[in-house]
Amino acid sequence: MNGEEKDGPSNERDLIYIGGATERGDAYQILRATRQGLEVGELRPTKEGEPVQGELVRLTKLPQSDRLFEAEVLLPDPRDKRHGHGPPQVATEAWRNNWEAIFGSRTKTELPN
């Protein structure tokens, strides 16, 4: 075997195994295998009008088990520092392009010697 088997787990896949319901019954316990390692967490359904806590993922069922899914991250966890540094960028490309029209052109001022 050369490690490139398509139907088996690989280091590039994000796999989630869904266990039983939590004590409160509002989520499921999960075991997640990613490139970074194994994680234990909870899987909750999204509800319209409520904020997303953690990552937003799309699950695709795998044929090996009724409880095994491949995860596709649709929206990373904003609290996770692996996905960026500092606050989110809020300036749009249109805002940057119209800077001169709004504030005038930028000129470099010469510093005194």
Q: How confident is the prediction for the chain on average, in pLDDT?
A: 80
Which residues are registered as beta bridge partners of 39?
Answer: 32
Could you read off the pLDDT of 11-52 as tens digits, one per residue?
A: 578 999 999 999 999 999 999 999 889 999 999 999 999 888
Specify the pTM. 0.59
